[in-house]
Structure 1
Amino acid sequence: MITKYSKNFKINFRDTDFNYNLRMNALVDFMQEVSGEHALSLGIDFTTDEDQKAYWIVSRAKMHLDTYPKWQDYIRLETYPVGLEGPFAVRRFDIFDTEDRQIGYIIGYYILMDFKTHRPLRVKNMPEVASLLNWLYEGESLPKLKAPVEVIKEDTRRVRSGEIDINRHMNNAHYVRWATDMLDCSEYDEKIIESIQTNYTTSLVEGDIAKVVRGLDEEGNTIIQGVSPDGAITYWTSKIVFK
């Protein structure tokens, strides 16, 4: 039986952009909060164990909004596991307004990591997880993302202490913020983001410097990628689709 978990969120001033629309990186915060609480309720969070053996990381995530919540609005996120795809445990989040109309969704690909070695663990080798995720995922897949073939602009950013989370890595929401920061205010006045998929490749830690590259893929979609200054390490890649 699929277990579901819901939580209501108020869109506060800090969660909005200059047009009073919900920011995508704020939606990542909501995603992390509701998924963490659900994992705790299922007994598969692991971070509260005295002898912590594992932890979850988000490997890929796609956020899609048909309608943007505004400042002071309330939304509800309903999340539930939807199966396994290769090494990934897949979780879905449905987003509803106060009239119970679905206005968007999130798909998250999670990997279970060994706490000591920081290497991926097989879900089937963790009985408490395998018993909850014993079927194959059949929904929308999140593919690998390639580097842009045409570069539009570049920026350089350094990871600050305020961006580090409890895993001592830059929090997932900041990767999305860095990606959307590559859009100008004038672009937000002309169009809105329908979806953003982010593939997390290598964790950024305090003091790391990333070259953030904005460009286009072969189909003309906006691609934003964070790489090391010499280009040898890819930290993340985001694909943005506009309405």
Structure 2
Amino acid sequence: MVATAATCAFLPVPSPSSDCSGKASGKISGIPASVDARATSAKSKSSSAGRLQVKASAQAPPKVNGTKVGVMDGFKTDDEVSVSPPPRTFINQLPDWSMLLAAITTIFLAAEKQWMMLDWKPKRPDMLADPFGLGRIVQDGLVFRQNFSIRSYEIGADRTASVETMMNHLQETALNHVKHAGLLADGFGSTPEMCKRNLIWVVTKMQVVVDRYPTWGDVVQVDTWVAASGKNGMRRDWLVRDSNTGEILTRASSLWVMMNKATRRLSKIPDEVRDEIAGYFVDSPPIVDDDSRKLPKLDDTTADYVHSGLTPRWSDLDVNQHVNNVKYVGWILESAPLPILETHELASMTLEYRRECMRDSVLQSLTSVMDEGDADVAKSSIVQCQHLLRLEGGGEIVKGRTKWRPKYPDRIGSLGQFPAESA
């Protein structure tokens, strides 16, 4: 539009009366003929009669002494008028600036949209500070905090997160804590000095108390920290809250020792390793009181339920080439009676790890329902079970105790008898 205005200021504009016919070249000064036709259509009807009259006069010019004389000197009819293009100048050779401006505007709008997507920041105070679950160090660098959104594939038949899901969250925060502290080297949570000595961490005891299970779409906040445990051990605690309400969902405490990766024997903590990790220890009691009760012996004669033929898959192994400790929880529950699983939920568990399970192991899961004073445990509001995961050759892998509370307290007593099963 700017170029058009500038052109009009320097070049003459043809009058509507000199409208060319359909036989003309089709363009005038670079403007399509259709645009020129629309501009002059309004005047063509009103002046048509006048043009016809002019043509009639032009066809019969008067004679003076036998010589034809025009009405006006230099007057020519419409048929005799030849439209000549305006002279070529620098101005009318310039491009269409309006199209160029539109293209530039489109490019800038697209770039602004991309920049806004890259420069995303939370706009509301109630939005998560850690929307992608990457975690951060808090409380003077001693506590690691990470958020998790409960996914649809992490819930079970009860529409709540499974206990394995909760255990995976605990393990993930433990590893990320070591990573954010700058101590993660090769291996599963091994520090640089541990890698030099071919040492790894192994868990010996785990205690978990679940007050409420989150549901699909909930966001949980997991805090974890470490403390010394005796001369050659370490304790790690976790506290899981609802990120929106702050309600405590789960508490867990665990004990860890070092193992030589090559010999698979326990090892003392070297002074160099202690110097690496001692600065991150918190001087606080366990978040879960230690359950020091001795687990009764469980075997084929005392077990109520036995599930045999359990074998680890390749996906069950961790980077240290042994079965991940979370997998043990699923195997233990394989032999839990179905009526308990259907009507009760796991409220707490204590696990004692005896030895590691390798890829070629074949295991058995044994469960015994413990009597709490009521002859019919199906009518009890609280049910306790004893568990053993062992090799088919007899070696103990994990011993455990679980406590179950009813999902539907108003339906206590409708469980019926638990049928014994074996596989």
Q: What TM-score does the superposition give when structure 1 sets the normalisation length?
A: 0.88
Residues 13-70 of structure 1 show CA distances to partners (whole Å, capped at 9, x for unaligned) of 2221101121111111111110001012234444364954322122211121111111
Q: Which has the larger radius of gyration?
A: 2
For 2:282 and 2:144, the matched residues in 1 are separated by 19
Q: CA deviation at 1:230?
A: 3.1
- 2:250 aligned residue (100, 104, 112): 104
Q: CA deviation at 1:197?
A: 1.7
Letter in 2 for 1:113: M
How many residues get paired? Answer: 242
Q: CA deviation at 1:135?
A: 5.5
Q: CA deviation at 1:179?
A: 1.2
CA contact 1:35–1:79 (8 Å) conserved in 2: yes
Tell me which residue corresponds to 1:132. 280
CA contact 2:160–2:215 (8 Å) conserved in 1: yes
Tell me which residue corresponds to 1:159. 312
Tell me which residue corresponds to 2:298. 148
CA contact 2:225–2:282 (8 Å) conserved in 1: no
For 1:134 and 1:30, the matched residues in 2 are separated by 21
Tell me which residue corresponds to 1:80. 225
CA shift in 2, pair 1:240/1:39, >3 Å: same
Tell whether 2:390 aligns with 1:227.
yes
Choose between structure 1 and 2: higher strand proportion: 1
Deviates most, 219-228 or 142-151: 142-151
Tell me which residue corresponds to 1:19. 158
For 2:207 and 2:216, the matched residues in 1 are separated by 22
SS at match of 1:222: strand
Tell whether 2:181 aligns with 1:42.
yes
Choose between structure 1 and 2: higher helix proportion: 2
Letter in 2 for 1:3: L
Q: Unaligned regions of 5+ residues in structure 1, if any?
A: none
Q: CA deviation at 1:168?
A: 0.7
CA contact 2:209–2:250 (8 Å) conserved in 1: yes
Identify which of structures 1 and 2 has the higher relative contact order when contacts are C-alpha pairs closer than 8 Å and 6+ apart: 1
Letter in 2 for 1:117: T
CA shift in 2, pair 1:114/1:207, >3 Å: closer
CA shift in 2, pair 1:4/1:134, >3 Å: closer
Tell me which residue corresponds to 1:56. 201
SS at match of 1:35: helix
CA contact 1:111–1:120 (8 Å) conserved in 2: yes
For 1:179 and 1:100, the matched residues in 2 are separated by 31
Q: CA deviation at 1:184?
A: 4.3
Identity of matched residues, %: 16
Q: Unaligned regions of 5+ residues in structure 2, if any?
A: 1-139, 373-382, 406-423
Q: What TM-score does the superposition give when structure 2 sets the normalisation length?
A: 0.52
